[in-house]
């Protein structure tokens, strides 16, 4: 038979357990409420609407998981970069890669390498082609697998400005519609696109052939720039890539994953995806105040991703292919003329 002391202890234990359960339930309710508020704010910020309540509920659950992942990653403090919410925070990693990348390494063209010896003394310690007027505003490929076209165009825009002292936004849509060696919104590769521009006699301006974000019928239009060809940087050679970027913006491939999708700021050092699936342009390089070297990446996901559409990607990581594979298949156009 329980003594009065034992009864008091049992009552106290039960009271603590009830209070704990109530507190946890209240905390969960408050947490769900705060996540719901964050979701509503995020939807308003990015103009997101859904077809019905079922789709909204599905997107809320994905948003919640992404938010939890972002907060856990940032609070752990194990990496130098930060993750954050962006226009893609209601998409799973698989959905995002399927709808916002588009690299297809399907070229039958031979590798065209003509690397000149590297002279480190001639290469500045940092370079930003934006400051030299050779980079157009950040663009947005939308839900079309046309990253390859944006990477190609960014490189052509860069060398055209460097050669002709005139910055023109060129047409990704022309490549999507007309380059039969690539697959439009179903993916492609920059070497094929460079070859198309050469064989086609040039590329149109964005204003004459604007981006639609869907596969279309090839249009005949005035061409604004020509290239004589392209060159491939020797594979997995970061020194030669540095030399190439010191001369002009360069098209590269990268492996995208959830961390890449949610990147917000500072030097991204991985982990990356296991297979290259996206194309971007390197438009410079530099180092942070504490000496961490990086590539300056121009992406095609709009200005609300990353650092206003850009990423600092770790340089000299010591990994084969670079931290995200950026040294594996780098290329650039040659001899642009108007």
Residue 88 pLDDT level (bands cut at 50, 70, 90): very high
**Residue 272: active-site member:** no
Q: Which of 8-22, 116-130, 142-156 has the highest mean pLDDT?
A: 142-156
Q: 224 pLDDT exceeds 50?
A: yes
Q: Report, as an integer, the average pLDDT of 120-140.
A: 93
Q: Report, as an integer, the average pLDDT of 199-226.
A: 97
Residue 143 confidence (pLDDT): 97
Q: Report, as an integer, the average pLDDT of 183-193.
A: 98
Residue 20 confidence (pLDDT): 44
Residue 232 pLDDT level (bands cut at 50, 70, 90): very high
**Residue 278: active-site member:** yes
Structure tokens at 104: 């297809």
Fold assignment, 4-83: Helix Hairpins (1.10.287)
Residue 106 confidence (pLDDT): 82
**Residue 86: active-site member:** no
**So where are the chain's domains?**
4-83, 93-334
* Catalytically annotated residue among 147, 178, 272, 324: 147
Closest CA to 100 of 110, 108, 114, 90: 90
* Catalytically annotated residue among 86, 140, 277, 299: 299
Residue 5 confidence (pLDDT): 54
Q: 297 pLDDT exceeds 80?
A: yes
Residue 338 confidence (pLDDT): 53
- Of the two residues 278 and 33, the one the predictor is more confident about is 278
Fold assignment, 93-334: Cathepsin B; Chain A (3.90.70)
Residue 265 confidence (pLDDT): 98
Q: How far is residue 277's CA from residue 102's CA, in Å, rounded to a whole number?
A: 6
Residues 49-75 have pLDDT tens digits of 999 999 999 999 999 999 999 999 999
Q: Report, as an integer, the average pLDDT of 139-162.
A: 98
Q: Over pLDDT 70: what percentage of the chain?
A: 87
Residues 253-287 have pLDDT tens digits of 999 999 999 999 999 999 998 899 999 999 999 99
Residue 185 confidence (pLDDT): 98
Q: How high does pLDDT run on average in the chain?
A: 90
Residue 336 confidence (pLDDT): 59
Task: Write down the pTM of the prediction.
Answer: 0.89
Residue 274 confidence (pLDDT): 86
Structure tokens at 320: 């084969």
Q: 288 pLDDT exceeds 70?
A: yes
Q: Report, as an integer, the average pLDDT of 141-167.
A: 97
């Amino acid at each position: 038979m329980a003594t009065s002391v034992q009864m008091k202890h049992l009552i106290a234990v039960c009271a603590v357990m009830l209070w704990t359960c109530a507190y946890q339930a209240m905390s969960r309710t408050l947490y769900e409420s705060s996540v719901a508020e964050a979701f509503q704010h995020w939807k308003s910020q990015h103009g997101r609407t859904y077809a019905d309540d079922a789709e909204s509920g599905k997107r809320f659950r994905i948003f919640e998981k992404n938010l939890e992942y972002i907060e856990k990653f940032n609070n752990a403090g194990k990496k130098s970069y930060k993750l954050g919410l962006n226009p893609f925070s209601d998409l799973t990693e698989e959905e995002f890669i399927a709808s916002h990348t588009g690299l297809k390494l399907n070229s039958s063209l031979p590798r065209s390498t003509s690397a000149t010896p590297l002279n480190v003394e001639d290469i500045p310690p940092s370079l930003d082609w934006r400051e030299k007027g050779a980079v157009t505003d950040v663009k947005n490929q939308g839900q079309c697998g046309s990253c390859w076209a944006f990477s190609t165009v960014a490189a052509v825009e860069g060398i055209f400005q460097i050669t002709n002292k005139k910055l023109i936004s060129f047409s990704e849509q022309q490549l999507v519609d007309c380059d039969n060696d690539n697959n439009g919104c179903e993916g492609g590769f920059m070497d094929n696109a460079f070859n198309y521009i050469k064989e086609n006699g040039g590329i149109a301006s964005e204003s004459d052939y604007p981006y639609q974000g869907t596969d279309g019928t090839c249009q005949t239009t005035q061409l604004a720039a020509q290239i004589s060809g392209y060159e491939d940087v020797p594979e997995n050679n970061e020194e030669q890539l540095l030399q190439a970027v010191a001369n002009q913006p360069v098209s590269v491939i990268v492996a995208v994953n959830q961390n890449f999708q949610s990147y917000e700021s500072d030097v991204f050092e991985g982990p990356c995806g296991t297979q290259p699936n996206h194309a971007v342009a390197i438009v410079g390089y530099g180092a942070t105040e504490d000496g961490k070297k990086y590539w300056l990446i121009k992406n095609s996901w709009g200005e609300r991703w990353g650092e206003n559409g850009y990423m600092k990607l770790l340089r000299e990581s010591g990994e084969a292919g670079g931290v995200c594979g950026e040294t594996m298949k780098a290329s650039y156009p040659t001899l642009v003329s108007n």
